[in-house]
Structure 1
């Protein structure tokens, strides 16, 4: 196992940061790594907004459900689906863009943004920084779109709080590897038994970090997935011209 793999496998989310700035040169190196990731048809239908302003971060923290670590992190990165650029390219060539109206377009933009954030995470951690991904940017997307002046054909996919860690945090256990890796086809046998063992592991972990009220993995996940927990995504996607009807 090389050092890069060790770094990746030692990942843990950091929600407590030192009061220490991250140099622009460091941020740029992280984002150059993100930009280097593969993307569909080389369309490059993604962008990143770098946010350091304290007032802006405070508002984003509120919009995402009072996630104070966003406000306290020196840097917040917002990864966007960005078909505004490609729309301009279409107009430049006298063509009409349609991909943003489709489910495929939304999937492409989301997946590419995810690839880029993954590279940003590895790059940041290799430089001694800590991170925590923020899916809550989709909790109140209309407010975020207005705050950051996002044009139509763009949408906030996910955020990343970034800074130097105040502590090393706990490493959250994952489901057994056999629930993730399937040989040749999807294997349903044995899944429930592996999940039951993982629930026991998570109960121990949650007790250790003082969050035993969550129960375990299956209880917590099921309680969240009983509802559409970010119901404003679909209407705001449509408002941003992501119709998802094709």
Structure 2
């Protein structure tokens, strides 16, 4: 197994960090790795906001739902889908930014962010740092937009804690490969895989002194309600009318 694949397969999310700072050279390397990711039409629809100031991290931790690992991590990155440069290009070339009226623009931006963040995570882990993605950056997205002074056509998609971990949480077991690999057509017979995975996941939790219920119970409870409903207002404010979405 080569080193890249080994790094990818050993991924885990870290939520406890030492106060040791991340050097400017290492941080630049990680962001360069993110920038090297592929993007739709080479539009490079991603920007990364680097936050290291303690008071600003504290405020972002509050906006993300009081997640203390944001306070602890020496660096907090916010990955944004960014069509501001596309807007400037449109003005330079005297055209309209009509594509943002289509919901596909949101898929493009979120996909490009995901690709960039995956590169950043792998690069960081190869340099012995730990990370954890923070979807809570969308919890109070209107306030985040103002706090980061994001221009129109830029939306926060995910945060990423970055630092030197102080403990190893272990690798969470994944679903059986047969559940996620579909040959030629989608295999809808997923119940046997989920039932088997529930037992695996319960053992994982028990070994860590966690009495929480199984995986399907956790997922079902999470998706039993709507999360971050203010994002529709944030998208509209940032210039994404997404007519199909807002009908």
Aligned to 2:205: 206
Query: CA-atom RMSD, angstroms?
Result: 1.0
Aligned to 1:94: 94
Aligned to 2:161: 161
SS across alignment from 1:144: helix
Aligned to 1:145: 145
Q: TM-score, normalised by structure 1?
A: 0.97
Aligned to 1:56: 56
1:103 aligns with 2:108: no
| Aligned equivalents of 1:124, 1:98: Cα separation in 2 | 37
| Aligned equivalents of 2:30, 2:134: Cα separation in 1 | 17
Q: Residue deviations 1:68-111, cap 9 Å, x none?
A: 00111000010001111110110011111112222110100000
Matches for 1:119-130 after TM superposition, within 5 Å: 119-130=119-130
| Aligned equivalents of 1:67, 1:78: Cα separation in 2 | 15
| Aligned equivalents of 1:185, 1:206: Cα separation in 2 | 33
Distance apart, 1:4 and its partner CA? 1.1
| Aligned equivalents of 2:210, 2:64: Cα separation in 1 | 21
SS across alignment from 1:158: strand
| Aligned equivalents of 1:71, 1:38: Cα separation in 2 | 31
SS across alignment from 1:168: coil
SS across alignment from 2:113: helix
SS across alignment from 2:219: helix
SS across alignment from 1:58: helix
Q: Residue deviations 1:152-206, cap 9 Å, x none?
A: 11000111000011112121111111111111111122x1011001111111112
Q: Residue deviations 1:223-245, cap 9 Å, x none?
A: 11111112111221111111111
Distance apart, 1:210 and its partner CA? 3.3
Query: Which runs of 5 or more residues in structure 2 are unaligned?
Result: none
Q: TM-score, normalised by structure 2?
A: 0.96
| Aligned equivalents of 1:237, 1:19: Cα separation in 2 | 35
SS across alignment from 1:212: coil
Query: Which runs of 5 or more residues in structure 1 are unaligned?
Result: none
Between 99-108 and 6-15, report the one with greater CA deviation.
99-108
Matches for 1:1-246 after TM superposition, within 5 Å: 1-189=1-189, 191-213=190-212, 215-246=213-244
Between 12-21 and 202-211, report the one with greater CA deviation.
202-211
